[in-house]
Structure 1
Amino acid sequence: MSDTALVIGEALVDVVRRTDGSVEVHPGGSPANVAIGLGRLGRDVELLTWLGDDAHGDQVRAHLAGSGVTLSPGSSSAPRTSVATATLDATGAATYDFDLTWEIAAGAAPVTAPLVAHTGSIAAVLEPGGADVVSLLAGARSTSTITYDPNARPALMGDPATALAAIETVIDVADVVKVSDEDIEWLTGGAGVDGIARSWAARGPAFVVVTRGGDGATAFMADGRELSIAAPSVSVADTVGAGDSFMGGLIDGLWGAGLLGAGHRDALHGIGTDVLEGILDRCARIAAITVSRPGANPPSSAELGEA
């Protein structure tokens, strides 16, 4: 096992359309954003993804390399690089349309067994790659902590009940789950967010963190403990990448607390409330920096005053 993170999932190009008519094009994809967040926080991170050998793919590869993210072999085997179009409303919130395919190339695998393996969003549920992702995560549990962010994309995930079944398959192998309240509401047709989070924590994760935008976040632990943290007050440029930045901060915080790796699974389940609260407060600060500026642009350790 190596002291690295493996992130599995989509990397793509985001086309962002703003209310003033301006259009920006930049690299994105939820798992790729998590990998970049970890890289900027000083972690060794590898991304197993599905990029094309084209101009958009070159843009994504350069962006990843600039934040210290390496690509797993086979990650540039796609016929073309996927594109997501994000349309922002007056509050900066985004809705998405996708021109996207997702696969894991035959034989693609991480270079070494990681300390933590993360996936999220489209990669874990969109076939033909989704089943391969779940298989990789299940195989990694013997050495690695498994983290997951469902990060629902209604435009791609189709029927919520079908998406929920696929998502809960991943939750069953996860040690840590981060999910937004909006995602749970969409997946369950408006069922009580807290009740669903508690039921997910009972499926096996050490805890489930529900993010609530400007209202902070709540952690629901498998042993029944719960805690909530507030979000810093900030002027919002847009919300693109906010949840991914939070997720990267969560993995990094658990890493710093010595709670990652399969050998620390029991300790992760017994995490102290004070330790988790400190980690989540920092996650909220990381997300606040991200929403204060355009696009998925997570902060570095230096910007957090930690370098």
Structure 2
Amino acid sequence: MNTELSVSVIGEALVDIINDPRSSQTQTHPGGSPLNVAVGASRLGLRTTLVTHYADDTHGASLEKHLRSNNVDVIKGGSAPTSTAIATLGADGAATYTFDISWDLDDAWTTAAEAVRSAGHVHTGSIASVLAPGDEHTLSLVGAAREWATVSFDPNCRPAISPDVELVRPRIEQFVAASDIVKASDEDLLWLYPDRTPLEALEAWLDLGPAVVALTRGAAGPVILTRQVRVEMPAVSVVVADTVGAGDSFMAGLMSALAQLGTLGAVGREKLNSLSKDELSGVAAYANSAAAITCSRAGANPPTANELGPLDSSFSRRPSVKANGQV
């Protein structure tokens, strides 16, 4: 891995309040897609800064403790209370959400811009890309970063927060066009493009400019495309505790694997655009395994580098991964 590479993640941090009908207890966990990606990236060995918002309140203190304990540096702005998301789990462990959330970098704008300028890779997505007033700051930071950094994006759409797909779609496409790497779920793409299959939507995104686009499909496993190569594989078989944070762990795994190949940062962009099928297969398997480990335990609890091991020429052929026992 390129140990000199630093990553800046831009986006929301919030507290997940999890209601599980299989349990009499309500659980609380730090959450928000960008926060989960930042923690996942840090656990996989990338030097990571999260540009975010939370308040100096009880929920904010829990977020601060979680980020610091995972070696994530924090730049925070805004003045609203810390955001929350109530996740209700179905019988299969899948989560549906309701939100009380705000997104505003506000007084942290200058410091955020400095952090992004010092990063080799910048990631953003989800609520931070569509919720005013902070979405404009997010797009400005990402647009400026391309000169010196690679950029990744995960729309992680939340119709409960931004329900007007006709307004959301063009903004999402602006971020796709500004990115080198894009990941989306089949649910994201079916909501954004109901008249296309998810794969058709993914292929259309390649035409907007990214070098790598990835589709996650739950138990059906991921598909990753470049202009030259397509890789598809089944999900790793696990006993699912829940799916909270699985897509974010996939994104962090994707970033870590690409960093290990030396394809992140402006100097890696040329190699990113010419990945071989074997390289892309290894990247897909690495990210797939990261998501599987997260599904095997409660909450957004991504794996460490020790759990996944290094990306190497055999990774795409490994039948299983370790995660607190057997997966």
Taking structure 1 as the reference length, what is the TM-score of the superposition? 0.95
Q: How many residues align?
A: 303
**Further displaced range: 279-288 or 187-196:** 187-196
Cα distance, 1:191 vs structure 2? 2.1
Cα distance, 1:225 vs structure 2? 2.7
**Cα distance in 2 between the residues matched to 1:105 and 1:115:** 24
Secondary structure, counterpart of 2:307 in structure 1 = coil
Structure 2 counterpart of 1:239, which letter? T
Alignment partner, residue 242 of structure 2: 238
Alignment partner, residue 263 of structure 1: 267
> Which segments of 5 or more consecutive residues in structure 2 lack a partner in the other structure?
312-327
Give me the identity figure in percent.
43
Cα distance, 1:168 vs structure 2? 0.5
Alignment partner, residue 53 of structure 1: 56
Instruction: Tell me which of 206, 216, 219 is aligned to 1:214.
Output: 219
Q: Is the 8 A contact 1:98 1:156 kept in 2?
A: yes
Secondary structure, counterpart of 1:303 in structure 2 = helix
Structure 1 counterpart of 2:305, which letter? S
After superposition, the Cα gap between the structure-2 partners of 1:306 and 1:275, relative to the gap in structure 1 and judged at 3 Å, is closer
Alignment partner, residue 85 of structure 1: 86
Q: Residue deviations 1:198-221, cap 9 Å, x none?
A: 000110000210011111111121
- Please tell me whether residue 290 in structure 1 is matched to residue 291 in structure 2: no
Secondary structure, counterpart of 1:13 in structure 2 = strand
Instruction: Tell me which of 62, 66, 69 is aligned to 1:63.
Output: 66
Q: Is the 8 A contact 1:184 1:190 kept in 2?
A: no
Q: Residue deviations 1:209-238, cap 9 Å, x none?
A: 0011111111121x2532212211111111
Cα distance, 1:108 vs structure 2? 3.4
CA RMSD of aligned residues (A): 1.5
Q: Is the 8 A contact 2:286 2:308 kept in 1?
A: no
**Cα distance in 2 between the residues matched to 1:3 and 1:225:** 26
Instruction: Tell me which of 124, 128, 131 is aligned to 1:126.
Output: 131
- Please tell me whether residue 9 in structure 1 is matched to residue 14 in structure 2: no
**Cα distance in 1 between the residues matched to 2:85 and 2:165:** 20
Q: Is the 8 A contact 1:8 1:118 kept in 2?
A: yes
Cα distance, 1:188 vs structure 2? 1.5
Q: Is the 8 A contact 2:229 2:276 kept in 1?
A: no
Structure 2 counterpart of 1:234, which letter? V
Alignment partner, residue 203 of structure 1: 208
- Where has structure 1 moved over 6 Å in runs of 4 or more? none
Alignment partner, residue 28 of structure 1: 31
- Please tell me whether residue 144 in structure 1 is matched to residue 155 in structure 2: no
Superposed counterparts of 1:159-178, under 5 Å: 159-178=164-183
**Cα distance in 2 between the residues matched to 1:161 and 1:277:** 35
> Which segments of 5 or more consecutive residues in structure 1 lack a partner in the other structure?
none
Alignment partner, residue 276 of structure 2: 272
Instruction: Tell me which of 18, 21, 27 is aligned to 1:19.
Output: 21
**Cα distance in 2 between the residues matched to 1:7 and 1:133:** 10
Q: Is the 8 A contact 1:44 1:69 kept in 2?
A: yes
Secondary structure, counterpart of 2:30 in structure 1 = strand
**Cα distance in 2 between the residues matched to 1:283 and 1:305:** 12
**Further displaced range: 186-195 or 135-144:** 186-195
Cα distance, 1:303 vs structure 2? 2.0
Alignment partner, residue 225 of structure 1: 229
Secondary structure, counterpart of 1:156 in structure 2 = coil
**Cα distance in 2 between the residues matched to 1:150 and 1:305:** 28
Structure 1 counterpart of 2:196, which letter? A
**Cα distance in 2 between the residues matched to 1:197 and 1:77:** 34
After superposition, the Cα gap between the structure-2 partners of 1:214 and 1:238, relative to the gap in structure 1 and judged at 3 Å, is same
Cα distance, 1:25 vs structure 2? 0.8
Q: Residue deviations 1:266-303, cap 9 Å, x none?
A: 22111111111101101111100000111000011122
**Further displaced range: 212-221 or 29-38:** 212-221
